Amino acid sequence: MIIGLTGSIASGKSTVSAMLKRKGFPIVDADEIARLVVEPGSPVLLDISRQFGADIIKEDGSLNREKLGGLIFGNAEEREKLNGIIHPAIRQEMLRQKDEWLSRGAQTVIMDIPLLFESKLQSFVDNIIVVSVSPEIQKERLIARNVLSQEEADARISSQLPMEIKEQGADAVLSNNGTEEETEKQLVEVLLEWQVSP
């Protein structure tokens, strides 16, 4: 079974991903892949520099994220161009890693995709786990973690799909308002119910 793991910013998805990893499940991590595809010398990075200018690459050959962020922030057209370069490469690598795990004999693969619904990648997975959190706790955790103002936290939260919409698209919802132990207990129940093992 291919399980999609998602949530919203500061919902605790990474915590659940770490729990699954400890239990021996192979993880295909979209965020990790997003960093991998723009490594120095990668075809994707060359495409980005052709599109946005050579000074988007630092002297050490790495992507100047701050400069790129400045170009696309608040500019939907430029952001679309960037996504058009990066997203296909990320998807291709995610599928390659998933297939590699399956060919090695994995029974279950976890695809950790923060923007699973926003990117419309439901077809990549069989079942979806959404890590959910109340808006109050989400905001509190985000401000503490990223040292943000109330306004900055609100802006980041509202840039993603509302939690209730994600919950509607889930096969299982883990409520992460309490302790890690409580969340893990819910996770174990879902895995037992779905009869999945690494």
More reliable by pLDDT, 147 or 179? 179
Dihedral over Cα of 185, 189, 194, 196: its sign? positive
pTM for the model: 0.89
163 three-state secondary structure = helix
CA dihedral 64, 150, 118, 101 (to 10 degrees): 70
pLDDT of 22 higher than 80: yes
| Percent of the chain at pLDDT exceeding 70 | 100
CATH code, 33-105: 3.40.50.300
pLDDT of 67 higher than 80: yes
CATH 3.30.70.260 fits 1-26+107-198, yes or no: no
| Residues 102-128, mean pLDDT to the nearest whole number | 96
Domain boundaries, given as residue ranges, for the chain: 1-26+107-198, 33-105
**Token code pair at residue 11:** 């919902």
More reliable by pLDDT, 68 or 183? 183
Please state, in angstroms and as integers, the Cα–Cα distance from residue 5 to each residue in 2, 108, 126, 186, following that order: 10, 12, 11, 14
